Amino acid sequence: MHVTVLSGAGISAESGVPTFRDVETGLWAKVDPYEISSAEGWQAHPERVWAWYLWRHYLMQGVQPNNGHRAVAAWEDHAEVHVVTQNVDNLHERAGSGRVYHLHGSLFEFRCDRCGREYLGELPDMPAPVEAVEPPKCAFCGGQIRPNVVWFGEPLPESAWQKSVEAVANADFVVVVGTSSIVYPAAGLPELALTNGIPVKGNFLMLTLCTILYVAATTGPKVS
């Protein structure tokens, strides 16, 4: 059986993942959200955008997967599971999911804003949030290193999108969890499934059942 899970911010909420508004405090209270989530904002103030995303990168390192992530990963014992996520965290992977496609990129990947090469170098330490940090420079072209996330006005990563479309088109059924499915083009994936006659289970119904089964299997009495 081929199962495709479409996940959004809601699945990570139980882990304590801060939303955009949660971190809009202190230094960031007066910052225009568009400024730190758009290519235009990056061009105008890269040191401010870099500081914001670098802080979120370190913040996310202290967050752990919850039973929802683990339930999705546990499905792989019984089916071929593909996870299409709009989240920029890596909680699905850390829970054990093997096929995860990030439509909006990842806070744990970085690349040059000029040549596009992946950046694997060291990141500046950030024990506390600050207003501005100068981004590292690319060793190949001198461009600035940016987070590999999708900002307003940017296209989705082609490879992740194509794999997501194929995962939905080839699924026996699709589960939508933690997302309202109103942001396109990701919101078009459930529609694609329905158009092809593939059942779509919305919200947390199916995931809740699997979470209960997961918890029971991992905490209940063992059969010897």
Q: Which residues are catalytic?
A: 104
Q: Which long-range contacts (CB under 8 A, 24 or more apart) does 18-24 make?
A: 18/56, 18/59, 23/52, 23/55, 23/56, 23/59
Q: What is the DSSP letter of 192?
A: H
Distance CA 156, CA 104 (A): 6
The pair of structure tokens assigned to 175 is: 């589960």
Sign, CA dihedral 161-153-194-82, equals: positive
SS3 94: helix
d(CA 214, CA 177): 16
For residue 149, the Cα-to-chain-centroid distance in whole angstroms is 9
